[in-house]
Structure 1
Amino acid sequence: MDAIRGATAQLDRVSERVNHVVARSVVGKYFRLEGSGHPLERRGSKFTTELRAGVVTFTAMAYILSVNANTLSLSGGPCVCNNPDNFCRTDSEYQQCKNGVTRAYVVATAAASCLASGLMGLGANMPLGLAPGLGVNAYFALTIVGTAGTGLVSYGRGLAAVWLEGWIFFILSLFGVRQWLARSLPNSLRLSAGAGIGLYLALVGLGASGLGVVGVDMSTMVGLAGCPSQYQDPETGVCQSHVLQDPRVWVGIFLGGVLTALLLLYRVRGALIIGIILVSVSSWPRGSAVTQFPYTPEGDDNWNFFKKVATWKGLSPLGPGNIEWTGYNDGHVWLALISMLYIDLLDTTGTLYAMANKAGLTDYRTGDFEGSATAYMCDALSISCGSLLGCSPCTAFIESASGIAEGGRTGITALVVSFMFFLSLFFAPIFSSLPPWATGSVLVIVGSMMMASAAEINWYYMGDALPAFLTIAGIPFMYNIAYGLIAGIIGYILLNTIPWCLIKITRGYLTPPGWHTEREPLGSTLRSSVLIEPGREYTKWQLMVLRNSILPPWLKKLLTGNMRFWQMTPREVEDYLEGRRLNEKRQEMLEKKHAEELKRLRGVEDEEAVEPVNEDHESAYKLFAANMSPENPRGQSTAI
């Protein structure tokens, strides 16, 4: 034990030296590491912690390599189906082409994720991993292009819609419209989005993409699963018997879940990645009951691919040559574009704010977060770049919360994710072989951490509470972040607009109780950063521009004559610092309130435990003692 402690202490000293050297370097100052001297350095951000957080984030989202490839290949990609009646299931030439597309999509997904995560880390300094999004990829493959190309538009025109969507997002972000729409969300809805995403993560972790504990049930929609494959219905995948008897489920629960939770309980660094690695390594040997490579045709194919360890496969037949640039005269292309636009807008808005809030980068006064404009623009560019590789829209992954929980606070985390995806271009056999039950428990654990934001929701007023609940429930139940937010927004509009109209019509007679005292003020998050420098004179037009809540800071500075519009002014820095101080104070108040509540509850329990014996207790004891005798050792009453 002494040797282990000595080695651990030595490792800690080396880490501290590395952290100090990097923090004082140009890299540390650019990424605002703690100790860098940057006025907006991020508390708790250390170089070694960022590296570890990046690896955790990548391992949590590495499943996207195989899942996205399998999903997008359902459309057939550039493969031509000559018999669409049965989706070309009997067309051997088409199936062979489709298999090649599936393998190519592994490379395309890795390349798109590498580029998108790198943009987010280097450009926006956010600890987020980006990749082709789940949900929107299925919408692209099964609805827009359709199975075997039977959808609204062709594969090439679908990619053209994705490419243009990215540039529309970029323009909206550049001029602040996207940030303004995000700030327009009421505070209760933005907080509930984080909690809803936590439940969504838990559902993903418990479902087929994770532990496999939860599955489809024809009578109750959702039910217990976790049965071996031979006991599943071949068409529906429903467990017909032997529920929870798949040993892989229990390896994921105990080795990946219980052990990881205990390590987190003892605050062991790298707890999340330890569980993922242990489950993955234990699942690779063939012949075991928990193997990732069973002796089946599919298992043999995956095993042969895994044995290559390192390999390179180009993008062919994918690539920018498949985009039909002349397809914009088709009305269906614009229909697909608009539908993806609003889904991505709400999806990305909710995800980015929830992740930034978990990293402590939000300002609840403005409803915004540090570097939001750049983050939205990087996200938009990744959408267009991904389309050139043949992918559906890229988005920030909610699995980034696992890296943030590990301590990631800066763009270094995202750069590590980008580097890992770059390695997966060559080590795809390894990274695409991480079993889903290795990351399932981690997603559940991270989901539980994200539920903390629900405590800050205004549950005292129905007009705020019910829309927040609709958002929290809608995101996992509809299996879509955007649809959950839409449910909450509609609920909020109805429960706040109708009473407002009644108040105006009846001149205040039908004012709901708590309207002025309990309800969150409407538009409380539409305040923008103050850019008015003290001691400087402004014209009326300049003051109007500076007080505008839609225009981004860079455009305000440019329009008011500041040619260094890309640099933050001292007033901006002070405003950010003030927002951080208020957020920290608010968090301390919430923690203090929680501690006092626990103390009060424990005090009640202690009082109940040491409550003095009253007369009734004394008389009961005397009756018990009086009835005790050798013939009645238990003191049972002898009264008739």
Structure 2
Amino acid sequence: MSAPTPPVSALDRYFGLSRLGSTVPRELRAGLTTFLSMSYILFVNPQVLSSAIKVPNASLQLLMTTAIAAAFGSLIMGLVARYPFAQAPGMGLNAFFAYTVVQGLGVPWQTALGAVFISGVLFVLLSVVGARQAIVQAIPRSLKFAITAGIGAFLAFLGLKNAGIVVGNPATLLALGNLTLPPVWLALAGLVLTAVLMTRRITGAILWGILLVTLLGIALRLPLYAGGADGALQAFPGFGGQFLGIFGTPVWPGDLVGQLDLGGALGLGLLSVVFTFFFVDFFDATGTLTGLSQRAGFLDERGNMPRARRLFAMDGLAAMFGAFMGTSTTTAYVESASGIGEGGRTGLTAVTVGVLFLLSMFLWPLAGAIPSAATAPALILVGALMMDSVRHIDWDDLSDSVPAFLTIIAMPLTFSIANGVSLGVISFCAIKLLSGRGKQVSPILYGIGVLLLARYIWLSEG
């Protein structure tokens, strides 16, 4: 007589935990890891947008709306699309919003929010009719693997930059940072420590690495936190003063919510702004979601994603909601790879991130206790893991390998996933066509390539 099958909980059935070989503790741990890796957006996004959005107490209101938009985007990604991908206001797009559109072009910030909202509507429409999925299917396997590797290189570069290991240099563009500075050597120590934990297959290695490096920095009183005299870094001051205690009272961002100007954004003169928001986020998010799906093992043998329409629609819906709340485009975060590296495979990971962003509205001083020196090693190591996909690229076929290489190298060097995808697609179409292999390219990809080329020619300022 066979043993009875253990009962399956409603949570397991909804998210498919057993089917995907995961557990609730693993998903919760993965969600916490992802949150810690991307929680910097709570502080960086207000810094960027407050230069363009002028309202009373702008930084705090923008922090709150950032947390709300991130929570909403992550929750619908987890509950509706049931993917472990977190969402939040995107870096790069917030800078374009603030510095190019509002300050550079003189567009009112309310109108710029309207443009973000309209671009989100376009995302949803294309997703519902299946056009976005068709575009993903048209991307060749070599570029899909290259996108994954490129995101890995981008993540690693971001981690090296955040830690101060790689710095800007006017003569050589980039240079090695000062390895004697506390944030730099602490990040390097964290990199070695976390790599050892991962090599020894310690459960929760990435999360333990983040927490141990944070505790080490606090115990040694290392200057890792902003707020010192003349802008210098300072040791953790404790939960008081700058951190306002452990608990912070949430503030409703009433001066931001619902302030978007749709009428102004639909004006003929701003169609290029709408298109640029749409274009950049479309390929940034599509590249990110494709790379994360490949990394998590969701792509089938043809490189397609299950529930793709729902997945892409949630990305667009998050952008619409974020614009209504008063922030620039909300999109999928490449830092979700850190949670995937921790074993997150279901929507419960994203739901955990969403709940933590909601809690951050009350406990946001705690998020500030995690220095970039602690999260940088996680980004570097996850990036290294994602580079594994390069072995699936046919490097002997130059018509495949050259576009793949351009995709990989352009992401970190231009600091843009969208640029990497764009250069890869354009070069793939051009090389295949001119080498007599044009029939190997989907007509959809040719159309995309033409649009991308036109964008770089006529809308290069975006």
Please, what TM-score do these two structures have when normalized by structure 1?
Answer: 0.65
* Code of the aligned partner of 2:66: T
Give the drift of 1:400: 0.7
Superposition RMSD in Å = 2.3
Q: Does 1:406 align with 2:358?
A: no
Question: Is structure 2 residue 4 aligned with structure 1 residue 27?
Answer: no
Q: How do 1:99-178 residues align onto structure 2 when only pairs under 5 Å count? A: 100-146=57-103, 150-178=104-132
Identity across matched positions, percent: 34
Instruction: State the partner residue of 2:179.
Output: 244
User: Any gaps of 5 or more consecutive residues in structure 1?
Assistant: 1-19, 35-40, 80-96, 226-242, 501-514, 527-640
Separation in 2 of the partners of 1:292 and 1:303?
A: 14
Is the CA contact (8 Å cut-off) linking 1:157 and 1:333 kept in structure 2? Answer: no
Q: Distance between the aligned counterparts of 1:152 and 1:363, measured in 2?
A: 46
| Structure 2 gap segments, 5+ residues each | 446-462
Indicate how the Cα distance of structure 1 residues 305 and 470 shifts in structure 2: closer, same or farther if over 3 A, else same.
same
Change (3 A) 1:407 1:520: farther
Counterparts of 1:329 and 1:115 in 2: how far apart (Å)?
26
On the 8 A contact 1:188/1:465 being kept in 2, the answer is yes
Residue 523 of structure 1 deviates from its aligned partner by 4.1
Which residue of structure 1 lines up, in the alignment, with residue 455 of structure 2?
none
Structure 1 residue 409 displacement after superposition: 0.5
**Residues 104, 313 of structure 1: 8 Å contact kept:** no
Q: Does residue 45 of structure 2 align to residue 68 of structure 1? A: yes
Task: Report the alpha carbon displacement of residue 310 of structure 1 after superposing the two structures with TM.
Answer: 0.7
Determine the C-alpha separation between the residues in 2 that align with 1:138 and 1:370. Answer: 33
| 2:389 pairs with 1:453 | yes
SS of equivalent to 1:216:
strand
Larger of the two Rg values belongs to structure: 1
Name the structure 1 match of 2:198: 264
Matched letter for residue 165 of structure 2: V
User: 2-side partners of 1:331 and 1:224: how far apart?
Assistant: 47
Q: Which residue of 2 aligns with 1:631?
A: none
Aligned with residue 224 of structure 1, among 173, 176, 179: 176
Contact 1:124 1:374 in 2 (8 A): yes
Aligned to 1:51: 28
Aligned counterpart, 1:192? 146
Relative contact order, CA 8 A, sep 6+: which one is greater?
Answer: 2
User: How far, CA to CA, are the matches of 2:202 and 2:46 in structure 1?
Assistant: 35
In the TM superposition, what is the alpha-carbon distance from 1:302 to its structure 2 partner?
9.3
Structure 2: distance between partners of 1:199 and 1:329: 37
1:436-475 Cα offsets, whole Å, 9 max, x none, are 1111111000000000111101211111110000100111
- Correspondences of 1:584-595 after superposition (within 5 Å): none
Using the TM superposition, give the Cα deviation of residue 433 of structure 1 relative to its aligned residue in structure 2, in angstroms: 3.3
Matched, 1:78 2:54: yes
Question: Would you say the 8 A contact 1:183–1:525 is kept in 2?
Answer: no
Q: 1:344 aligns with which of 277, 281, 288?
A: 281
CA distance in 2, matches of 1:302, 1:492: 53
Q: Which residue matches 1:359?
A: 296
Q: 1:280 & 1:297 partners in 2: Cα distance?
A: 24
CA–CA distance in structure 1, aligned partners of residues 160 and 249 of structure 2: 33
> Which amino acid is 2:11 matched to?
V
Alignment of 1:438 with 2:390, yes or no, is no
Match status 1:204 vs 2:158: yes
SS at match of 1:222: strand
What is the count of residue pairs matched by the alignment?
437
Moved over 3 A (4+): 282-285, 297-303, 315-318, 519-526
Q: Deviations over 1:258-315 (max 9, x none)?
A: 1110000000001101111122233346x92334266427668996132421112313
Query: 1:187 touches 1:525 (CA, 8 Å); kept in 2?
Result: no
Question: What SS does structure 2 have at the residue aligned with 1:141?
Answer: helix
Note the C-alpha offset of 1:321: 3.7
Distance change (3 Å), C-alpha of 1:376 and 1:78? same
Q: Distance in 2 between matches of 1:192 and 1:472?
A: 6
1:498 aligned to which of 434, 448, 454: 434
Describe the shift of the 1:135–1:301 C-alpha distance in structure 2 as closer, same or farther (beyond 3 A).
farther
Name the SS of the counterpart of 2:206 in structure 1.
Answer: helix
Provide the secondary structure at the position in 1 that maps to 2:119: helix
Match of 2:313 among 377, 380, 386: 377
Name the SS for the 2:117 alignment partner: helix
Distance in 1, matches of 2:444 and 2:215, equals 47
1:189: Cα distance to partner? 1.0
